[in-house]
């Protein structure tokens, strides 16, 4: 791919060696899919630097309470070079009990909080007691005192999945299976609304990842699948194989190594993806702007969903 950046700049941005970046850029193979994405995202981050405001040279501690802390922490650490000269020190906290963690954040020396949690009156009240800027990630809390919201446009993502599945099923009869997820209610709502509009007579079957095979056994008319949350695709495919069943369309979320491999081998029809690193960078920028360390208005930032199919997969 064409770009104006030196290999050592891309390597520093991505946290990789120059040799690895060179292998990716020249399509020499032997590199993991996630590494290829890291290189492409690093180039995009370097491109964005031309448009970003001047960043301060201070040190800022940012707490994260998010559903997948390991993934978010890795994504944010990969994006830290793009925020220099500001030094962001991420501090990951467990997401199982956000109210307890919010109380801990309130007692700590924190400059801001990135929060992904389900809405409740107690949570809204706890956010209101914080004296630091709060940015919500993916799941918005518009009734709270948050300063901005970043993440995927959730209803749009679900509606996109429904549109794609309807295009593949066309006029063929068949039910659609949704494997329910704990943090994707808005995606499911968007999916249901779009499918109802496009095909009001098509039935939806809902189940969780532990009961996919039983659901298939009880519903022989299932012809398509939507998994609105990452981590369930391989188990669903295994359940279809165990029941000796086939599907006509399967749309999943997030281009991790597992989904990339399943897409490449034809087990998935499409993967809906967005750039988590960019979301977390926008969240940190909103915190710095709210603190007055960076000029400009504090704005919410929604990521558009990217539809990835076998023809537009990054090269291996």
The backbone torsions φ and ψ at residue 266, rounded to the nearest 5 degrees and listed phi first, read 85, 10
Rounded to 10 deg, the angle between the 33-48 and 18-25 helix axes is 100
CA atoms within 13 A on the CB side of 79: 24
Q: Is 154-273 in the same CATH topology as 59-146+275-308?
A: yes
pLDDT digits (tens, 9 = 90+) for 70-129: 889 998 998 888 788 889 999 999 999 999 999 999 999 999 999 999 889 999 999 999
- For residue 42, the model assigns a pLDDT of 80
Spatial CA neighbour of 9 closest among 58, 42, 41, 54: 42
Contact (CB, 8 A) for 163 and 183 = no
- What superfamily would CATH give domain 59-146+275-308? Response regulator (3.40.50.2300)
pLDDT digits (tens, 9 = 90+) for 11-57: 877 778 888 888 888 888 778 877 888 888 788 777 765 555 566 77
Q: Quick one: tokens of 308?
A: 């990835």
The listed CATH number (3.40.50.1820, 3.40.50.300, 3.30.750.24, 3.40.50.2300) that belongs to domain 154-273:
3.40.50.2300
User: Is it the case that residue 252 has pLDDT exceeding 90?
Assistant: yes
Matching residue, tokens 């009156």: 121
Q: Average pLDDT for residues 230-247, to the nearest whole number? A: 93
Following DSSP, what letter does each residue of 118-153 receive, concatenated?
---HHHHHHHHH-SS-EEEESS--TTS--SEEEEE-
Report the chain's mean pLDDT, rounded to a whole number: 89
Sheet holding 222-226, edge to edge: 204-207, 175-179, 222-226, 249-253, 270-273, 306-308
Following DSSP, what letter does each residue of 20-52 receive, concatenated?
HHHHHHTT-S---HHHHHHHHHHHHHHHHTTTS
Matching residue, tokens 């034809």: 266
Contact (CB, 8 A) for 18 and 11 = yes
Q: How confident is the model at residue 182 (pLDDT cuts 50, 70, 90)?
A: low
Least confident piece of the model among 155-159, 245-249, 253-257: 253-257
Q: Where are the domains of the chain?
A: 7-50, 59-146+275-308, 154-273
């Amino acid at each position: 791919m064409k770009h104006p950046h030196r290999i050592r700049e891309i390597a520093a941005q991505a946290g990789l060696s120059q040799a690895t970046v060179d292998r990716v850029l020249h399509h020499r193979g032997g590199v993991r899919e996630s590494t290829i994405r890291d290189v492409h995202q690093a180039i995009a981050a370097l491109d964005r630097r031309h448009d970003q405001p001047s960043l301060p040279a201070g040190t800022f501690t940012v707490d994260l309470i998010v559903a997948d802390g390991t993934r978010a922490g890795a994504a944010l650490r990969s994006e830290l070079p793009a925020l220099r000269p500001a030094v962001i020190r991420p501090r990951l906290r467990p997401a199982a009990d956000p109210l307890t963690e919010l109380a801990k954040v309130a007692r700590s020396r924190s400059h801001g909080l990135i929060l992904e949690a389900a809405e409740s009156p107690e949570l809204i009240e706890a956010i209101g007691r914080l004296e630091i800027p709060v940015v919500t990630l993916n799941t918005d809390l518009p009734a709270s005192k948050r300063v901005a919201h970043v993440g995927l446009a959730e209803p749009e993502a679900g509606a996109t999945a429904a549109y794609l599945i309807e295009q593949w099923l066309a006029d063929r009869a068949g039910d659609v299976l949704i494997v329910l997820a704990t943090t994707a209610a808005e995606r499911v709502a968007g999916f249901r609304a779009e499918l109802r509009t496009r095909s009001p007579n098509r039935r939806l079957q809902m189940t969780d990842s532990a009961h996919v095979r039983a659901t298939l056994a009880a519903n022989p008319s299932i012809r398509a699948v939507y998994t609105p949350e990452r981590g369930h695709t391989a188990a669903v495919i295994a359940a279809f194989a165990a029941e000796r069943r086939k599907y006509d369309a399967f749309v999943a979320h997030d281009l991790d190594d597992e989904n990339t491999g399943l897409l490449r081998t034809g087990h998935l029809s499409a993967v809906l993806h967005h750039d988590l690193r960019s979301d977390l960078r926008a969240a940190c920028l909103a915190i710095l702007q709210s603190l007055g360390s960076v000029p400009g208005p504090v704005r919410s930032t929604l990521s558009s969903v990217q539809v990835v199919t076998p023809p537009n997969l990054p090269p291996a």
